[in-house]
Amino acid sequence: MSTTAKLRPNRPTRGQRSPLPPHGTSARGTDRPGQGIPGCKCQPCRNAKVKADAIRAIANMSSRPVRIPAAPVAAHLRNLLDAGMGWVRITRAAHSSSCTIARILNGQELVRRSVAERILAVKYRPAPGRYLDATGSRRRVQGMMVRGHTVVVIATEAALDHSVIHDILNGCPQVRGLTADKIAAAYDWLSSRQPTGRASAITVTRNRAARDGFAPPAAWDDDAIDDPNAAPDWTGCCGTDHGWWTHKAENIPVCARCQTAHDAWLAEHKNLPRAERARQLFLAKNTAAQRGANLAVDGRELLKHGVLIDQAAERLGVTRQYLQKELIRHPEAEESTQAGTELAA
């Protein structure tokens, strides 16, 4: 007997049929006309098939069907392949088999929702040995420093030498793919956690981040942080006059986009009568001051009705990170008090 046969005794050879699924599973109880295999009629297999059909029917009625169109998934796969990401890396990142990827690319009409979500979650990452733009890594390091994590802590979590982190902060144009992956993993872990270490070092790190204008993790979308042309969204509405007032209300240094938008608003309203112009300024300021609390109320109401936080943020016109920040800043108790005050008025 060959070594391969010893290692893989159940693997069919060319021309042989794959082994049937075990009894008591819906796969064994389902007909496969294309292969000429009838479904098993034993009671355990029939029970499993009835249960699977009921789950599928409930999912379809709840507007979350088990199987969804495969066209968007195929388009995402082609984008990954065109960008240079190989099949092996895609299958590993998506926890799927190569035959599943092949069927989707060859025109399969429907795909299981769980498979589609795993594939759509795969983002292009170059091979570990390739070089890529360091912008995303720099922004992640800066975001961790805003939280108070020192360069030494970041380097330790990323399993890198601290000199690599300093080079990235000082404008290194490119980093290796493996280095970028390590920094991204450290960012995912540290960006939502409190800093550790000496209090003086944490204070120095936060002061440097404030002095140099580093953007916090909440200012970046997952897709925008690696885009060199993207700008941080400090307020959830940066680039508008409303964003300028939100900067002021939340004591955040005004970004260039909001300053430009506010200057344009002032120029547009400069010919208004003095009293009317003052009234418009007061309304803009008051709206910005109340926006966070109102956003938290609306967001929590959507979440209570089963809407995912990404979908709630999209409906409200803000980023997911900004909505999460406002939910933390305005707890439900404050919302109940505010609602009671409004009703009393």
Q: What pLDDT digit, counting tens, does each position of 73-128 carry?
A: 999 999 998 887 888 888 888 888 888 999 999 989 999 888 998 899 888 877 77
Q: Which residue has the higher pLDDT, 23 or 4?
A: 23
Q: Residue 342 — pLDDT band, cuts 50, 70, 90? A: very low
Would you call 223 exposed, middle or buried from its count of C-beta atoms within 10 A (0-12, 13-18, 19+)?
Answer: exposed
Q: Are residues 48 and 115 in the same domain?
A: yes
Whether pLDDT at 50 is above 90: no
How many independent structural domains does the chain possess?
3
Cα–Cα distance measured from residue 177 to residue 34, given in angstroms and rounded to the nearest whole number: 44
Tokens for 151? 């360069």
Two tokens, residue 35: 């292969």
9 falls within a domain: no
Q: Are residues 245 and 335 in the same domain?
A: yes
Q: Is 256 in the same domain as 213?
A: no
Query: At which of 124, 154, 189 does a domain end?
Result: 124
Residue 53 lies in a domain: yes
pLDDT tens sequence across 118-149: 899 888 877 777 888 999 999 999 999 999 99
Q: Which residue has the higher pLDDT, 284 or 200?
A: 200
Q: Which amino acid is at 92?
A: R
Average pLDDT on 244-252 reads: 76
Look at residue 13 and tell me if it is in a domain: no
**Residue 138's domain is classified under what CATH number?**
1.10.260
Q: Does residue 4 belong to any structural domain of this protein?
A: no
- Give the 3-state secondary structure of residue 239: coil
Average pLDDT of 17-35?
77
Domain termination residue (choose one: 189, 219, 249)? 219
Within-domain flag for 2:
no
pLDDT of residue 122: 86
Tell me: pLDDT of 42 over 70: yes
pLDDT grade for 343, boundaries at 50, 70 and 90: very low
- Whether residue 328 is contained in a domain is answered as yes
The length of the chain in residues reads 345
Entry pTM = 0.55
Domain-embedded: residue 1: no
Domain co-membership, 259 together with 332: yes
The residue from 124, 148, 164 where one domain ends is 124
Do 249 and 327 lie in one domain? The reply is yes
Examine the domain organization and report whether 69 and 151 are in the same domain.
no
Of all residues in the chain, what percent carry a pLDDT higher than 70?
87
Asked if 323 and 249 sit in the same domain, the reply is yes
* Integer angstrom CA distances of residue 78 from 94, 110, 166: 14, 17, 36
pLDDT in tens, 183-212: 988 898 888 788 988 999 999 999 999 898
The answer on 340 and 247 residing in a single domain is yes
Name the average pLDDT for the chain. Answer: 80
Give the residue from 162, 151, 138, 154 showing the smallest Cα distance to 201: 151
Same domain, 82 and 145: no
The answer to whether the CB of 247 falls within 8 A of the CB of 285 is no
- Residues with Cβ within 8 Å of 259's Cβ and at least 6 positions away in sequence, in order, are 244
For residues 256 and 201, membership in a common domain is answered with no
Domain that holds residue 147: 131-219
Q: Is the pLDDT of residue 9 over 90?
A: no
The CA-CA-CA angle for residues 144, 149, 154, to 5°, reads 80
Decide if 266 is inside a domain. yes
